[in-house]
C-alpha cells in the first residue's frame, strides 16, 4: 500500500471523530507504536512503561496521619494534585490450597481528596487484563478523586497471561472487601463504590455481582466496559479497525485472559451473561460509552440488561468519541464535559447510598 493510500485510509477511519479528538488520535498514532495484538505481552508492557514512566517505590511519604505526602508523589506526571497519596501492599485473596492464607500481596494506591470524610471508590484500570499499572492509571484515578470528591483506591491487580481469569476478579473482590474494612483510615466513610475502565470495567461489574457479604457497592461506574466475548456486534463491525482499540486487539486480550472457552460463559468474565436474578442484586450503575468504540455495544447492552432487571442506571453515550477518550480530557472539550457528567452521576449515587445509611 502506498503512503497516500495509507493516509487516505487513516483519514476515512478518523473522519467521524470529534475534531479535537481527531487531532489527538492522529498525534498518538504518529508515534508509530505497533498495534497491541501484533506485540508480545512483554513488548507491550515495555512500551507502556516507556509511555507512562513512574517509579516502583513508595509514592508518598507519611505525613503523620497514615496518608502520604502532598499528593504530587503518586505517579509519573502529577499535574492533577490531590490532598495526598500513599502506596500500600495489602494481603491478596486466599490462594487455593493455602489453608486460608493470602496468595501474595496486592499493591494499591490510595488518593485522598481535599475534603474528608468522603465516600470511597475502588478503581480498576484498563489494559485488556494484560496491561496496566498504578502509574498508567494515575491520571484517571486523580481525576476521579478530584471531580467526584472521593477517596480513590487504585488496584494493581494480577495480569494475564501469567494470572488468567479469575485472578483479577479475585483481586478486585479482595480490594473491595479490604476497602470496606479500612476506608476510615484514609478519610473514607462507610459508603464504598467501584469504578473501572475497559477491562477494569469488567472487573468492577464482576465485583458488584460477587460481594462477599451480599451487600452491593454504592455504585458501579463503568467506563467503556468489556461485558462479553462477542466480536460480531454492530459496534465491532463499524469500528473493527479502531481507532486506539481494534477487534484484533480484543481477540488477543480475550485469548490471553481466559483459561478456556468455558470461561467465556462465566458471568464474572462476561457480565452480560449474568442471569436477571443476579443482576437485580447488583449496584446502581453509571455506564459511559463512545460512538466510535468497538466496545460501545458491550456497555450499552449491559446498561440495558441492568435496567431491565430493575437496577438504576445512567447510560452516558457520547458522539464522536472513541475508546479511551476520557484520558484526553485536557485536550478534548467533549471528554472533559463527559468526565463532569460521570462524576456528577457517581456523586449522586454515592450520596443516595449515604442518605439510605442514615435512615
Residues acting as catalytic residues: 198, 293, 323
Q: How many helices (H) and strands (E) does the chain have?
A: 11, 8
Query: Cα dihedral sign for 97, 129, 343, 108?
Result: positive
Q: Can you list the alpha helix ranges (DSSP code H) found in the chain? A: 3-14, 19-29, 41-52, 138-144, 167-182, 199-209, 234-238, 247-257, 276-280, 296-308, 333-358
Q: Give the strand pairing for 105-112 and 84-91.
A: antiparallel
Q: How far is CA 297 from each of CA 200, 204, 235, 288, 291, rounded to the nearest angstrom?
A: 17, 18, 6, 11, 9
DSSP letters along 52-87, please?
H---SS-S--B-SSS-BSSSSSSSS---S--SEEEE
**How many Å is the maximal CA-CA distance in the chain?**
68
Q: At what angle do helices 19-29 and 333-358 cross, to 10 degrees?
A: 100
Amino acid at each position: 500500500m502506498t503512503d497516500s493510500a495509507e493516509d487516505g485510509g487513516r483519514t476515512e477511519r478518523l473522519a467521524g471523530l470529534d475534531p479535537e479528538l481527531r487531532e489527538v488520535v492522529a498525534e498518538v498514532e504518529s508515534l508509530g507504536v505497533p498495534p497491541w495484538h501484533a506485540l508480545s505481552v512483554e513488548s507491550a508492557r515495555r512500551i507502556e512503561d516507556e509511555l507512562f514512566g513512574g517509579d516502583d517505590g513508595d509514592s508518598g511519604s507519611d505525613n503523620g496521619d497514615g496518608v502520604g505526602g502532598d499528593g504530587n508523589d503518586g505517579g509519573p506526571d502529577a499535574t492533577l494534585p490531590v490532598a495526598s497519596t500513599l502506596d500500600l501492599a495489602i494481603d491478596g485473596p486466599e490462594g487455593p490450597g493455602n489453608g486460608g492464607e493470602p496468595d501474595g500481596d496486592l499493591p494499591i494506591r490510595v488518593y485522598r481528596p481535599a475534603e474528608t470524610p468522603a465516600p470511597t471508590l475502588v478503581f480498576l484500570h484498563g489494559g485488556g487484563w494484560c496491561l496496566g499499572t498504578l502509574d498508567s492509571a494515575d491520571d484517571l484515578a486523580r481525576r476521579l478523586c478530584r471531580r467526584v470528591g472521593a477517596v480513590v483506591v487504585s488496584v494493581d491487580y494480577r495480569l494475564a497471561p501469567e494470572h488468567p481469569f479469575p485472578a483479577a476478579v479475585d483481586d478486585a473482590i479482595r480490594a473491595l472487601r479490604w476497602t470496606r474494612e479500612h476506608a476510615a483510615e484514609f478519610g473514607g466513610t462507610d459508603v464504598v463504590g467501584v469504578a473501572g475502565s475497559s477491562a477494569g470495567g469488567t472487573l468492577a461489574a464482576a465485583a458488584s455481582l460477587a460481594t462477599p457479604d451480599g451487600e452491593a457497592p454504592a455504585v458501579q461506574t463503568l467506563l467503556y466496559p468489556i461485558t462479553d466475548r462477542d466480536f460480531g456486534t454492530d459496534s465491532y463491525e463499524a469500528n473493527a479497525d479502531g481507532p486506539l482499540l481494534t477487534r484484533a486487539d480484543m481477540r488477543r486480550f480475550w485469548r490471553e485472559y481466559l483459561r478456556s472457552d468455558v470461561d467465556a460463559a462465566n458471568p464474572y468474565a462476561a457480565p452480560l451473561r449474568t442471569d436477571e436474578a443476579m443482576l437485580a442484586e447488583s449496584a446502581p450503575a453509571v455506564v459511559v460509552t463512545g460512538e466510535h468504540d468497538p466496545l460501545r455495544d458491550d456497555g450499552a447492552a449491559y446498561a440495558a440488561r441492568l435496567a431491565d432487571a430493575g437496577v438504576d442506571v445512567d447510560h452516558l453515550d457520547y458522539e464522536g468519541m472513541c475508546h479511551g477518550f476520557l484520558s484526553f480530557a485536557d485536550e478534548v472539550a467533549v471528554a472533559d464535559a463527559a468526565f463532569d457528567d460521570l462524576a456528577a452521576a457517581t456523586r449522586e449515587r454515592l450520596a443516595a447510598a449515604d442518605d439510605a445509611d442514615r435512615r
